[in-house]
Structure 1
Amino acid sequence: MAARIIANLLVMGSGVLGRAVVQAYRKAIENANKTGVTKETIQNISRMRKTMTEAEARQILGISEQSSWDEILQKYNNLFENNEKNGSFYLQSKVHRAKECLEAAHQSSKGEGTSS
């Protein structure tokens, strides 16, 4: 009889605790949306994405400043596919960001060359 009462108390207590955790989580998200913390976090992530320098991008891809765009793409494809097959999403994302950085630099240099 005592074991049954203890079991019932444990089940009821865990149900109450579970509901309290869910309510607290919902309230925390609601407060974060009200105060703008969510927007700020997203902006910080966006800023971090854009901070890769050309030198860092070239180092990640293992290319020199004299590398052509075709060489950059070939190196990118090799590194991206290797990380896709064998493993690291983090490295794969770094390779992708490096390509984006160099692509932006390539586009701006093409734009400067044609405007002269």
Structure 2
Amino acid sequence: MLGGFRVAGKLIANLIVMGSTIIGRAMLQAYRRALDNANKTGVAHEAINNIRRASKTMTEQEARQILGVSENSTWEEIVQRYDNLFERNAKSGSFYLQSKVHRAKECLETVYQKNKPDEPPT
């Protein structure tokens, strides 16, 4: 009787392994088809580009908060604040904060160039 259980156990184990293999292959094929369809329609590239764009974009409000300036600040005040924060972080701060300060200045530079295209910031 004990031998019958062993055979039945092996049979069940083999069925489980074969079944999971079949299901795994089917899932892999479905995944590949979904990727192919996404690539054909351009959805995958568009999604990746949107994620990259969103992660790199800094808003004007965020830039002003980082530099500690208001909407009424002149370009000279922004540059002065930038120089001060950039140098402080270069000496004793972090590269991450220094890069945030730099990105904030770039963002506001774009804003000021849009508002006064004939007078480029210095």
TM-score norm. by structure 2 comes to 0.59
C-alpha displacement of 1:41: 1.2
Higher relative contact order (CA 8 A, sep 6+): 1
Q: Specify the alignment match of 1:34 in structure 2.
A: 40
After superposition, residues 64-103 of structure 1 pair within 5 angstroms as: 64=69, 65=73, 66-67=77-78, 68=80, 69-74=82-87, 78=93, 81=96, 99-103=102-106
Distance of 2:88 and 2:46 partners within structure 1? 35
Structure 2 residue matching 1:22: 3-state secondary structure:
helix
Q: CA RMSD in A?
A: 3.4
After superposition, residues 14-33 of structure 1 pair within 5 angstroms as: 14-33=20-39
Runs of 4+ in 1 over 4 A off after TM superposition: 74-77, 79-82, 95-98, 107-111
Task: Give a deviation string over 1:58-83, Cα, whole Å, max 9, x none.
Answer: 32x2522534222342466636558x
Q: How many residues of Structure 1 are paired with residues of Structure 2 in the alignment?
A: 101
Q: Specify the alignment match of 1:63 in structure 2.
A: 68
Structure 1 residue runs without a partner (length 5+): 83-94
Q: Which has the higher helix share?
A: 1
TM-score norm. by structure 1 comes to 0.61
Q: Which has the larger radius of gyration?
A: 2
Distance of 1:26 and 1:108 partners within structure 2? 44
Flag the 1:79–1:55 CA change in 2: closer, same or farther, 3 A: farther
